[in-house]
Amino acid sequence: MPSVPHLMTLADLSPKEISRVIRHAHVLKRVSQPWLAPQQRNSKLQAKLKMPSQSLFSKSVALLFSKRSTRTRVSAETAAVLLGGRALFLGSEDIQLGVNESVRDSARVIGGMCQGIFARVGDHSEIEELAKHSPVPVLNALSSLWHPTQILADLLTLYEHSHYWPTAAHQEPTSTKFAELRAPRPLTVAYVGDSANVLHDMLVTYPRLGHHLRVASPENPKYRAPEPVWNRVVELGCDKKIWWGADPKEAVKGADVVVTDTWISMGQEAEKEERLKAFQGYQVTEQLCREGGAHPDWKFLHCLPRKSQEVDDEVFYGPRSLVFPEADNRKWTIMALFDLLLGKWELNTSYKTENIDAVGRDTVSDVKS
């Protein structure tokens, strides 16, 4: 019997496995979209449309959310439906892990009734405890240390916009074969802000995919990566491609992509005044990136929700911003994880990918992980 395929952080996956999830998400996206936008569908081709994978048919996914959410919840619920299954939302008012019942017992009970658990928790130890005792896959929707699904969405967004950073083999995107999804050339990715779960998964992922990270955060240790995270960074050899300082302008030097996140995470509201003071000068603006020497065509990412002190309107709503395609891609990358880990339990095997082009034709190709 195969071991249960949990996912706590992208540090758990190899670069090939990460690439597989990204490309599978793109396949699911293109196969699913014609069904979701009938007003854009050619009626003559309707009979040729391919159904997305139905690996969750008659299955249920428990969404254990101890923290409120917009993108993660909507993405997960709609992804489960597209795969033929159902998402069962259990918020903090429905279930409190470790309060009325131990995490161990909750994992066993929920895992006995559902075929997967997608958990958005507080302390990372909670999801580790769930995974330890669950008979079904547990996927980390967000914890205090890691946010793997966000970085998968960011990567899919960068892949889909790789024409901004072309290699000699790149061509402009066309309306034909979507199988031509290409990884971008090695990028310089700048992160300006607090060292929180989004950055932590960036630290263990981007360097292994060939990209360089430049990070700026205040010198206070509370705004730097905690020891368990940095230990994983070093263990994976990612530290060799990471620059970390306190000057935002220095961090964006040569940046192809600039990323920021909230300065005040849920549960840190009492620190608001202190944090706003600590992050003065960290707002992402055209001026900051120009003076810091970012690449002239730099693009911007933010996991949302956004506050204006983190990035100004000119950048956030301007042509550099990829934040809304990035948000949309939360759905497709979560759908890929649900399909592969909850529906098929086969992330580590070779697989067949249906290549569906814009007019409904399809071919099949082998992809090796």
First to last CA, the chain: 21
Which residue, among 219, 208, 280, has the nearest Cα to 242 in the 3D structure? 208
Say if residues 265 and 120 touch (Cβ distance below 8 Å): no
Please give the pLDDT value at position 270. Answer: 83
| φ and ψ at residue 18, rounded to 5 degrees | -60, -45
DSSP state of 284: B
Supply the DSSP string of 63-80, one letter for each residue: EEESS--SHHHHHHHHHH
50/32 Cα distance (integer angstroms): 8
pTM of the model: 0.90
Sheet of strand 188-192: strand arrangement: 242-245, 212-216, 188-192, 257-260, 299-302
84-112 confidence digits (pLDDT tens): 999 999 988 887 676 778 899 999 999 99
Query: Residues near 264 by Cβ (< 8 Å), separated by ≥ 6?
Result: 271, 272, 275, 276, 307
112/134 Cα distance (integer angstroms): 8
Please give the pLDDT value at position 366. Answer: 35
Q: How many residues does the chain have?
A: 369
Say if residues 225 and 38 touch (Cβ distance below 8 Å): no
Residue in the structure block whose two tokens are 């795969």: 83
**Active site annotation includes 303:** yes
Please give the pLDDT value at position 172. Answer: 52
- Per 3-state DSSP, the chain is made up of helix, strand and coil in percentages (nearest 5) of 45, 15, 40
Where the chain has pLDDT below 50, the residues are 174-179, 349-369
Say if residues 156 and 329 touch (Cβ distance below 8 Å): yes
136/124 Cα distance (integer angstroms): 18
Query: Residues near 89 by Cβ (< 8 Å), separated by ≥ 6?
Result: 63, 65, 73, 77
Dihedral class, residue 97 (left if φ above 0, else alpha if ψ from -120 to 50, else beta): beta
Which CATH code of 3.10.20.30, 3.40.50.12780, 1.10.3720.10, 3.40.50.1370 fits the domain covering 10-147+330-362? 3.40.50.1370
Say if residues 233 and 225 touch (Cβ distance below 8 Å): yes
Estimate to the nearest angstrom the gap between the alpha carbon of 186 and the chain centroid: 19
Annotated catalytic residue within 114, 238, 289, 303 = 303
Please give the pLDDT value at position 20. Answer: 95
Q: 10-147+330-362 and 162-321 share one CATH topology?
A: yes
**Dihedral sign from CA coordinates of 338, 40, 163, 297:** negative
Domain ranges of the chain: 10-147+330-362, 162-321
| φ and ψ at residue 89, rounded to 5 degrees | -80, 125
**What number of other Cβ atoms are within 10 A of residue 71's Cβ?**
20
CATH superfamily, with its number, for domain 162-321: Aspartate/ornithine carbamoyltransferase (3.40.50.1370)
Please give the pLDDT value at position 1. Answer: 62
Estimate to the nearest angstrom the gap between the alpha carbon of 134 and the chain centroid: 23
CA angle 161, 167, 168 (to 5 degrees): 135
**Dihedral sign from CA coordinates of 195, 199, 205, 209:** negative
4-40 confidence digits (pLDDT tens): 999 999 999 999 999 999 999 999 999 998 888 776 6
Query: Residues near 245 by Cβ (< 8 Å), separated by ≥ 6?
Result: 215, 216, 251
Which residue, among 87, 77, 72, has the nearest Cα to 147 in the 3D structure? 72
Rounded (10°) angle between helices 15-36 and 323-337: 100
